[in-house]
A and B are shown apart, each in its own frame.
Chain A
């Protein structure tokens, strides 16, 4: 009854955001057969997210620049001959063979590709604080998706708390769409003259970014939204849903300064402390990782052509460290050129020549990013907001107190997971691992240097001194397993797999 479909393709691109779309288009233009899959209903990723099915754009001016950028990328990819497959999740990746599932299909598809580019993007950095699980507390990405895909405002009195170069984009966009934003908090310091001067120098070639940042700021100020720098949310209050946000002044490490708390009544709290790369597929594939909190934590290691250490598997975009759409698209070009060269579709020399301006562009972006770090470096205090009663693992409802008790028994992340069930639920640890990692790092201190750290070649348990740090150990510590997305037994079931049965001796 059930079998599985098998397909072959030159390049499989996983993820239909800016990186995936650009890579797919370029690879197709160089003659590769390209299939691009995305688990969402529309393409464009988070930044260029298109309205959901059923929406018709009647007034092009009102949907914003990002919408049109997305349309252009999708059309370009389609025009180059890329096959775009929406609502298709990759459940498993081993080598360059992927198990995919398209929503509504009765069985999975086994995709054998010659190259796989993983461009999974990023998700909101999960930051547990008292009240973070209350209804009405939403992530910036979640609120943005709500507005972009469904055109629904998240609330009527909205406070925003977050940080990062693009943090102010969220409240500005919300405000622009008519949402009543009553407060915007930025954890980092207000820009000061020397930093701004450095930004202008480093920002040479990054005019668009600077312009956007200034526009967002101006929009908020123009709309008289109180914009407060150096402040973080310390808790959300409310019975059945959020009724108030309590915020405090933060020191350079983002630790709340005593006696600086203020309280404001809101019906929605939107939290956006940056993004973390989606690593599950790359970890499952066995890729090697490094660690950089400012890039979102675990970041996959790639060479000059975006190739990971796993033969045939490439990575690009925010999933390799959060640097934004422009960098993502530049990386995507390198990946497409690299894959095309590896498969003989373009000569090495030509690929190198075509890559040269892209590399210059990337270098400029990287200088800019580094210049911004003093403003937006993520402070360790972000993972110290949870109190003992705070639920850290939402799926299994595990509090910080229970985790800390279990840490009396073990600091091994797999063992910790088995003792507490933290990370065993539906999200498989995506929302609790950074916090658990930080708590483990604090507890073990220098001892964590010798702890078990991630090794891409095999799933997390071999010491790799280069990647020292308790957080990395914790983030990487649990063993990645398929399916990367939940899938029904009836869809996974394959009656054609031989069951050798149990009578084997006779």
Chain B
């Protein structure tokens, strides 16, 4: 990938030769260019969803502009851990049991299988190093009840086309000797892994730019005006540097999408949440797969440079933009406790840094993707588990907007009731 990306074009920067040869970043001089005054699509928000959508639309010949208020990829898209969790988040459901939700879970699995395929191919498609590592992933159970859920989950995954297996006893001990000995079991999915969340959206943006998209930073959108009798342009998007008329707009503002939508008179089923992560010093390789917990807040991996990244949905204190959420000490301490419980050898590994990011939470954790019936031409593209599913949802929305693929399922509709419950949502923990 290294030579391809750096030799590729004059519009991109090869910033990090080692590690991460072939990193693809858009140029500052391009991002600060003029904002067009007329276009087909205006995408508000330069996160992973916005940049990926820009790429999929621009490569299909759609004229568009992306307006980002600050730097690309600086909020949820760049502050998550970059893990792909393809095993279904069965613990997001009610206590009613997996069988009760079987149909929806099957649909989830099929979607996740498609996301897995997309991530596997994405570095080739974008001709850029995204730091994709397929490591496999374990979901551990502490109790017999949790283990039973893993067994049920595994059957649904098999039926949906995702290969997973449940390991217990000596088999698990041999496969993952670093896990606490008294865990009840774990399910394993070989296709799970991670990418570098700091590189994915910028690479999409750079390729979108090449394909003609006007990707612009430091262009905060103030309001989206709906125009009457204005021909093709149904919207005037007012931003800090002027005004752009557009036929369609896409709200890809992530954790602030619901605030933007309110300006046009409707509520999105979204809210902003703070999310905590712990990062340790680098250590010799202890474990390869991702580890998450079926019943407690833990996601953990040892990244390619040896540091452990530990999270799992511990909260951070929300602060008004542009401040980042601030760290709650209880999240440092609680997250560390679960990590040590599951991987005892972490006890003497030192945390050198924490971070807190936002994420856009929907009550049902389903994507909020599609056109609003209330405002024709107004689309939304926000994905709570946005790193795993963001690129896939962006490509599906691009297919719908260009008429090249089927419309998205109604359960993703931005018009669904904000209180729509799909059991209880997991308390944080997008990926």
Contacts and interface: CB of A to CB of B under 8 A. Distances in A.
Contacts of B168: none
Given A489-B336, A493-B339, A502 B350 contact: no
A498 B340 CA distance: 15
B375 interface: no
Nearest to A97: B329
Interface in A405-432: 405-412, 414-415, 418-421, 424-426, 428
A481 B347 contact: no
Interface in B268-308: 278-281, 293-297
Given A92-B329, A412-B71, A461 B323 contact: yes
A389 B430 CA distance: 39
Contacts of A482: 327, 329, 332, 354
Contacts of A105: none
Contacts of B353: 424, 428, 481
A459 B94 contact: no
A498 B96 CA distance: 24
Interface stretch (B15-23, B55-63, B186-194, B230-238): B15-23
Interface in A439-477: 452, 458-459, 461-462
A503 B327 contact: no
A194 interface: no
Given A483-B332, A489-B340, A461 B324 contact: yes
Contacts of B26: 409
A94 B319 CA distance: 14
A421 B17 CA distance: 12
Interface stretch (B34-42, B387-395, B418-426): B418-426
B94 A501 contact: no
Contacts of B338: 499
A322 B294 CA distance: 52
A492 B281 CA distance: 14
Contact of B280 (A489, A499, A501): A489
Contact of B323 (A4, A409, A428, A462): A462
A4 B28 CA distance: 47
B355 A481 contact: yes
Interface in A335-388: none
A453 to B, nearest CB: 12
Q: How extensive is the interface on chain B, given as a class?
A: 35 or more
Contacts of A409: 13, 15, 25-28, 202
A493 B421 CA distance: 33
Most chain A beta-carbon contacts within 10 A, residue among B334, B339, B429: B334
Contacts of A502: 91-92, 293-297, 313, 426-427, 429
A498 B315 CA distance: 12
Contacts of B93: 505
A420, A486, A503, most chain B CB atoms within 10 A: A503
Nearest to A411: B28
Given A483-B354, A486-B281, A499 B13 contact: no
Contacts of B72: 415
B350 to A, nearest CB: 4
Nearest to B348: A488
B363 to A, nearest CB: 10
B346 interface: yes
Contact of A481 (B14, B15, B346, B354): B354
B427 A493 contact: no
A494 B337 contact: yes
B417 interface: no
Contacts of B319: 458-459
A406 B15 CA distance: 5
B351 interface: yes
B361 to A, nearest CB: 12
A2 interface: yes
Interface residues of A, number: 53
A65 interface: no
A258 interface: no
Contacts of A59: none
Nearest to B421: A505
Contacts of A222: none
Contacts of A208: none
Given A406-B16, A459-B326, A506-B423, A492 B348 contact: no
B205 to A, nearest CB: 10
A409 B279 CA distance: 26
Contacts of B313: 502
Interface string A307-334: 0000000000000000000000000000
Contact of A405 (B15, B199, B293): B15
B349 A503 contact: no
B78 interface: yes
Given A493-B340, A499-B296, A502-B297, A461 B351 contact: no
A94 B293 CA distance: 30
A419 B324 contact: no
Contacts of B95: 503, 505-506
B425 A428 contact: no
Interface in B61-112: 70-74, 78, 91-96
A415 B13 CA distance: 14
A61 interface: no
Given A405-B14, A426-B281, A506-B424, A488 B347 contact: yes
With a 10 A CB-CB cut-off, give which of A412, A420, A492 has the most chain B CB atoms: A492
A281 interface: no
B347 A489 contact: yes
Given A492-B333, A505-B94, A405 B13 contact: yes
A493 B333 contact: yes
Nearest to A415: B71
A269 interface: no
A487 interface: yes
Given A459-B324, A488-B350, A489-B351, A499 B17 contact: no
A390 B11 CA distance: 26
Given A410-B28, A489-B336, A481 B424 contact: no
Contacts of A481: 327, 353-356
Nearest to B321: A461
B397 interface: no
Contacts of B406: none
Contacts of B91: 502-503
Given A408-B27, A483-B354, A506 B337 contact: no
A57 interface: no
A483 B74 contact: no
Nearest to A418: B198
B409 interface: no
Contact of A486 (B17, B327, B350, B427): B350
A402 interface: yes
Contacts of A2: 337
A471 B302 CA distance: 34
Contacts of A406: 13, 15-16, 25
Contact of A492 (B336, B355, B427): B336
A156 interface: no
Contact of B71 (A410, A458, A487): A410
Contacts of A150: none
Nearest to A397: B18
A470 to B, nearest CB: 14
The 9 closest A-B pairs by CB, nearest first: A505-B424, A506-B95, A490-B347, A497-B334, A494-B333, A458-B323, A409-B25, A486-B350, A493-B337
19 contacts: A405-B13, A407-B28, A411-B28, A412-B74, A414-B71, A415-B73, A418-B73, A418-B78, A424-B279, A452-B322, A462-B322, A483-B332, A483-B351, A489-B347, A492-B333, A492-B336, A493-B347, A499-B297, A504-B427
Given A419-B202, A502-B426, A506-B96, 10 more contacts: A408-B29, A412-B74, A415-B73, A415-B74, A418-B198, A489-B278, A489-B280, A489-B348, A499-B297, A503-B94
Interface of B: 13-17, 23, 25-29, 70-74, 78, 91-96, 198-199, 202, 278-281, 293-297, 310, 313, 319, 322-324, 326-327, 329-330, 332-334, 336-341, 346-356, 421, 423-427, 429
